[in-house]
Amino acid sequence: MTRRGPKRSPQPEAAVPQPSAGGMPRWVAFLFLLMASGVMAAVVFALARRTLSSLPALAIGPKFETVYYQAGEIFNSSGGDLRAGWEHDQIARMIGRALIDASNLRKLREPGEFAAIGRERGKSRVGVMFQLTILMAALERQGEPVEKWRPLLFPYFDKLKGADFTLFWTDVRDAWRRAFVMHGLRPGMARLGAATLWLPYGPPLEFFVSRGLAYADALAADAETRAEADTVRRVVLTVLRQWTLGPGPVELRLLASDLLADALENDEIAAAAEAPLSAVERATLIENLRAFRKAYIDNARRRIKWLMRIDDRPQLLPDAENRIGWYAGLGIWTVSGLAVSIVAQVLLAFAFIGRGGAALRLSSLWRYSAMFSVGVVIVGIVVMLAGWEWVVADLKAMRLQVVFAAIGAAIVLLVLTCFAASSVGGSVLARLSAIGGQASVFLAVACIVICLLTDAAISRYDRGLAQGPNDYTMVTGTDGETHLAALRAWRP
């Protein structure tokens, strides 16, 4: 008789992970989506970094000090007009500091330094003009009345009769552009970078004109020195005329034109010219000088200032620059949607892999993920069309409200899409994770397309800047320079 052991109770079978609707285990599907979105996001990051690195607002700042010192070495080892222009630039900066600091003024009055400032540089006699500015500043600081300035100052003014006051500014500007190109900026962007440098000629010019004309008035009070007063006035008018006509920084040209118009409104100053103007000619010249300045200011006010510039100068190519800004705003919106998708996919992975995703049909979920991705892009386009000025102001001020709004909108769209996809099964959290994973691929593709469009727009913008005329003409058009036709024909 066979002996039987105790009867064993049946053991439960080991739990086997349920495959997704397509036959793929859920954890494999999750890893596949995570890897795909990760690779795509890395591509987006690389393209965005390359695109942003060419913008002056982000590219110049970290390199500015290096570029500045390297450019200084280039200037100091150069010769000819470039060296002369660089010396003019540096002397003007020193005078600007000396006008507010007596110690700097004393250094400029030292014999060796003073003589070096006044030496001839090519055909230009700007150095003598700077010497006069330093002398007038020193006399004023010593409390000497203007009437006693004559013995010291007039020999310098006498040297400047009919002189040339070229700044050699274009040579310096072009050297700065080359320095920025050497550090990775495109030629057009290097133009913007060079334009952000502090222009030092304004304070010395204003001081020279105001004190020089005051000195001329003191000379004119004495009949014996009235001819000398006319010489001083002609020198001042010549400086202002030449610096208005350029070439030179647009800010300096506008300042010189304004000072010249003010000076010509004085009867005695206008009469000092070797070929005096009639009343009608003088009124026309003054009107044209005012119109020259007004044309720039009016056009500049209509051109918004965006993140492409690291200063407050107006746009030179507004259509091209606004197109880049539009792409950048849409890119911020799309990248925010991509970030929300990846975060939802990772944070809610437990629901997707676990029991909450057991009944989830991934093959049926792709259309909802595509709907969410398209919705993010469409909402971004609507915001850029309807709230362009708000987006620009936010980017310029770096408040990042646009980013927060884009993240919030993406979260809302993701939740709405999740509830709309309830027919595909699975828990709410599982659907959020799955939609985030699938949508991240779509949104990454959209971001790559936007990056490529932005880069192409930047390239066109850069070529336009590199090939464009001077800043004044690019803001006003060719009509602005026509206001100076009468000034070109007039000689003080």
Question: Alpha helices of 14-100 — where are they, by DSSP H?
Answer: 26-52, 56-76, 80-98
Whether residue 258 sits in one domain with residue 120: yes
Summarize the confidence of residues 198-208 as an average pLDDT: 89
Q: What is the pTM of this model?
A: 0.80
Domain count, the chain: 2
**Count of C-beta atoms within a 10 Å radius of residue 280:** 8
Whether residue 348 sits in one domain with residue 234: no
Confidence of residue 164 (pLDDT cuts 50, 70, 90): very high
Give me the count of residues in the chain.
492
Q: How far apart are CA 416 and CA 423, in angstroms?
A: 13
Q: What pLDDT is recorded for position 311?
A: 62
Whether residue 106 sits in one domain with residue 122: yes
Is 171 within the bounds of a domain? Answer: yes
Q: Which residues partner with 124 through β-bridges?
A: 121, 164
Whether residue 210 sits in one domain with residue 237: yes
Whether residue 293 sits in one domain with residue 430: no
- In this predicted model, what pLDDT tens digit does every residue of 296-337 receive, in sequence order? 999 888 876 655 555 667 888 888 888 888 888 888 889 888
Q: What pLDDT is recorded for position 12?
A: 46
Whether residue 213 sits in one domain with residue 70: yes
Which of 239, 271, 305 is a domain's end point?
A: 305
Whether residue 65 sits in one domain with residue 50: no
**Count of C-beta atoms within a 10 Å radius of residue 375:** 19
- In this predicted model, what pLDDT tens digit does every residue of 408-441 receive, in sequence order? 888 898 888 888 877 777 777 878 888 888 888 8
Instruction: Provide the domain limits for residue 292.
Output: 61-305
What is the DSSP code (8-state) at residue 121? B
Whether residue 215 sits in one domain with residue 159: yes
Summarize the confidence of residues 40-46 as an average pLDDT: 82
Checking if the pLDDT of 292 tops 90, the result is yes
Q: What pLDDT is recorded for position 20?
A: 45
Q: What pLDDT is recorded for position 418?
A: 85
Is 108 within the bounds of a domain? Answer: yes
Nearest to 261 by CA among 293, 300, 223: 293
Is 5 within the bounds of a domain? Answer: no
Q: What pLDDT is recorded for position 22?
A: 46
Is 486 within the bounds of a domain? Answer: no
Q: Which residue has the tokens 């039987």?
A: 4
